[in-house]
Structure 1
Amino acid sequence: MSPRLLGFGALIVLAVSACGPGAAGQARVPETETVTGDAWTAATLPPAELDPCALLGPAERSSAGVNVLGVPKEINGARACDWTVPATFGVTITVDERNGLADLEIARKTATKTKIGDREALKVADRKAADGTCAVLLGMGEKASVQIDVSNTDFTDTPLACERAVTVAGLVEPKLP
């Protein structure tokens, strides 16, 4: 085999391995995560290009009490990112480019209309179940939404889960188109 072909084969292997996820159970660490000034904002991107893991940068994670990197995943065909703070709580942010707030199937008795920033939102929690879970759903136009789901590890204290979900929603909202 020629040295030129060997070099090309090694380049392909490196390129493919750089695109794959990290080892099982580990988040792939982005090459850079620092965005300064007005160089770039997620708010300039259409929903189809929003990266849910980029919606919580280092400063936002610190403000929300999240000390781990997010793990990209997919939920019902939508892009999502999951942060699990061991023995405390987890946060999942899902970018749904097919369903606006009106399209989402929600038990109306668990949903409360609210605003996060200037954006229409729904806070969803079943206080009777007291299961330590809460979601804030942010509208992005008629046919898109971002969903922030919080679950406390011990599945108790729904008000705390809602407090955490509202905090994360407030950090994410300015980055949305």
Structure 2
Amino acid sequence: MTSRLPVLGALGAFAVLTVSACGQGVAGQAHIPVGDGGDARPSAPATSAPAAGNAAVDPCALLGPQDRSTAGLNVLGVPKEINGARACDWTVPATFGVTITVDERNGLRDLEVARKTATKTKVGDREALKVADKKAADGTCAVLLGMGEKASVQIDVSNTNFTDTPLACERAVTVAGLAEPKLP
């Protein structure tokens, strides 16, 4: 069963909600599939187990001190859960934010994104998708990394001023490149 990744309008809308939440929320989160009956189908039965080897992936540990410095993150990550998946947020006040989410139920091929917003790419030796709505020019971008057949890692970046989508994508690609070698 495939699930949908509502990236188009949801990415920008979620970013607006993020900033309005006193900078404490996720940064331009490309949503993990949800089963709320909206325009996304259920991601997986509640009884499905995480993919082997992925349960140990701590999203906050994917960026060490040197990685954070390279990415321009001068803050520590805040662990959280998004739709049952482990995530970590780094928010640089008045600048940008990054969220890394480890989805243990949906591989890269299970995630559906609008073709006009997704570009196939590679990060290291991994298949990946770079997702940004260039027409919206909302300062958000995501890089989705495959992690085996049934798991993925989602790196979402949102610029606080909701402008400069190319810069958001540059930041997302940088973070993806720093995190990728630490993935199983």
- Please report the TM-score for the alignment, with normalisation by the length of structure 2: 0.71
Q: Give the residue type in structure 2 aligned to 1:60.
A: D
In the TM superposition, what is the alpha-carbon distance from 1:105 to its structure 2 partner? Answer: 2.4
Name the structure 1 match of 2:123.
Answer: 116
In the TM superposition, what is the alpha-carbon distance from 1:49 to its structure 2 partner? Answer: 1.3
Residue number among 52, 63, 68 corresponding to 1:56 in the alignment: 63
Unaligned runs of 5+ in 2: 1-23, 25-51
Larger Rg computed on CA atoms: 1
Name the structure 2 match of 1:31.
Answer: none
Greater relative CO, 1 or 2 (CA 8 Å, sep 6+): 2
Identity of counterpart residues, as a percentage? Answer: 88
Distance (whole Å) between structure 1 residues aligned to residue 133 and residue 183 of structure 2: 27
Distance (whole Å) between structure 2 residues aligned to residue 108 and residue 79 of structure 1: 26
1:28-43 matches, cutoff 5 A = none
- Which aligned runs of 4 or more in structure 1 are off by greater than 4 angstroms? none
Residue number among 132, 136, 146 corresponding to 1:129 in the alignment: 136
Q: Give the residue type in structure 2 aligned to 1:133.
A: T
Unaligned runs of 5+ in 1: 1-24, 26-44
Distance (whole Å) between structure 1 residues aligned to residue 89 and residue 142 of structure 2: 14
Name the structure 1 match of 2:157.
Answer: 150
Distance (whole Å) between structure 1 residues aligned to residue 119 and residue 110 of structure 2: 16
The root-mean-square deviation of aligned C-alpha atoms, in Å, is 1.1
Distance (whole Å) between structure 2 residues aligned to residue 128 and residue 76 of structure 1: 28
Name the structure 1 match of 2:107.
Answer: 100
**Secondary structure in structure 2 of the residue aligned to 1:130:** coil
1:78-97 matches, cutoff 5 A = 78-97=85-104
**Secondary structure in structure 1 of the residue aligned to 2:167:** helix
**Secondary structure in structure 2 of the residue aligned to 1:80:** strand
Residue number among 65, 80, 83 corresponding to 2:72 in the alignment: 65
Aligned residues: 134
Distance (whole Å) between structure 2 residues aligned to residue 143 and residue 108 of structure 1: 21
User: Which structure features the higher share of helix residues?
Assistant: 1
In the TM superposition, what is the alpha-carbon distance from 1:78 to its structure 2 partner? Answer: 0.5
